[in-house]
Each structure stands twice: as C-alpha cells, then as structure tokens.
A and B are shown apart, each in its own frame.
Chain A
Amino acid sequence: MAVRPEFYHALELIGEACARLAMRGEALPVLVGGAVVEWYTASAYMSGDFDLLIAVTEPMTDELLALGFRHEDRPGWLRRGFYHPDFDFGVEFVSGQLFDGLADRSRIQTLRLSDKAFIPMVPPEDIIADRMGQYLADPQHGGSLLIQAKRVFVILESGINDDYLNRRLQDETAGEISLDTFKKLIGNDRG
C-alpha cells in the first residue's frame, strides 16, 4: 500500500541533486513521465526510470555525477541517460518546453522530501492529460495509459482542478477528450 522504498530513495537522491542545483542558483528540472504516475498512485503503478525536463543540462549532470550516478555510455547510442550503479534506476533528460508550452508552470508542485532534497513535479492534471494524449495517439490504445490516468484521477479526485484538467485534456488530445468524455471513458468504477 505504501510507496516502494527504493522508489522513495531514488526520489531523495534526485531531490538532493535538485537542492544542490538550487544552491548554485541554477534553473531546476521538472519531473515528468511515469515516475510522476508512480508518486501520485503511491506505487500502484511502478516506473523504471525518471524523466527530467531540463533546459540546461550541464549543472544537473555535475550534481548527478557527484552523487554517484554514471553516464550511460554505450557506444553508438544517444547519451541522454544516467544510472545509479548501486540502486538500479535511471534518469533521462528531456528537452523542450513543458508540454509544448501548454502547461501552466505556476501549478508545478515542489515535492519537499527533506531539508536537503526536493523535486519540482508536474501536477496531476498535466500527467492525466499527458497519459490520455499518448493513449489516443496509440492506434491500438494499448498499454496501461488509460488505467494510469484513471488511477491518478480517482485517487486524487478531490484535489483535482476540473477546469484546468478539462483544458489540458483538450490540449493533449486535439480537442477529442474533454473532462466529461474522460469521465465516461473511465466509468463509474472507482477501484
């Protein structure tokens, strides 16, 4: 029922790198992707890696290496990833604007893990919309994307901003899925 200890420990390590970055006055990354779903569902969904949206990568690279991470350095492959050799999780840098500039950055949540560790993370509305955009883009509607979106919505329902979620769903699905459509898709089962 609780969040996986190894996942929480990974968040603490990445959070420590973010705090060190902040002390240097550098711009901070934002956690996006499956790890956000794992956090909002307390490990009902399990992610294998951490995607960080970041504009300038060098300072964060320095901090991750200082904390024991290694570059993924397989010859012939694009090197955007890092992994921790003792804890078996990866971090990948993602470039570009947060959800193509459509997300409201003032809604980013700073997850405070300790006095020396914190991580900026996209809010639940953005990750639900992101999952639904990917769900719609997949002709097979495969994987667990709809279930991920449903679980985040159901668990956090009382804290969701309906107006923002409605707008973001329509952003990410080219207007095909509104909040009403989404609620119909997930049905009445709240389990």
Chain B
Amino acid sequence: MIEVDAKTYIAWVIARKQALGITDQDPLALNDGSRRTDSKRALLQAIADNARAQGREPTFKANFEPI
C-alpha cells in the first residue's frame, strides 16, 4: 500500500482545482438517489430522523427516496 499524507495531498488537489478554474460555487450534482439500495435508504433515513429529532437539518445532504 502507498501512504499519502492527507494535508499535503489535499493542498495539491486544491491547487490543481484553482489552476483549472474549478470552483465550489458550481459543485457536481449530489447523487440523485435513484440507485440507492434499500439498506442505504434506511441508513440515510435514520440520519435524517436523528437530526430532525434534535431540531436541525442533517449536515450531510443526500438524495434518497424516503422509507
């Protein structure tokens, strides 16, 4: 296995994005959720339910068909 230092690597990726003019104002679409497995839908639903029980929206956005 090849070991990579996370902070060094991500600094290089960010520099590459800047050089290419890729901005986060135009992020790629999230997964549209159409190919989620049932187990993944259940997991994402549990996360959403937990956050809403705490009176907030989930930090990680994810598209999925609610169960």
Residues of A with Cβ closer than 8 Å to B? 1-3, 6-7, 10-11, 34, 39-49, 70, 72-74, 77-83, 85, 87-90, 92, 105-113, 118, 120, 123, 134, 138, 142-144, 147-148, 151, 154-156, 190-191
Query: Smallest Cβ distance from B67 to chain A, in angstroms?
Result: 7
A44 CA to B67 CA, complexed, in Å: 28
Cβ-defined contact, A81 with B59, below 8 A: no
A42 CA to B42 CA, complexed, in Å: 27
Residues of B with Cβ closer than 8 Å to A? 1-6, 9-10, 13-14, 16-18, 20-24, 27-32, 34-35, 38-40, 42-47, 50-51, 54, 58-63, 67
Cβ-defined contact, B13 with A42, below 8 A: yes
Cβ-defined contact, B20 with A109, below 8 A: no
Cβ-defined contact, B60 with A43, below 8 A: no
A120 CA to B4 CA, complexed, in Å: 10
Cβ-defined contact, A156 with B1, below 8 A: no
Cβ-defined contact, B23 with A42, below 8 A: no
- Minimal Cβ-Cβ distance residue in B for A80: B39
A92 CA to B41 CA, complexed, in Å: 11
- CB contacts (< 8 Å) of A10 on chain B: these are 60
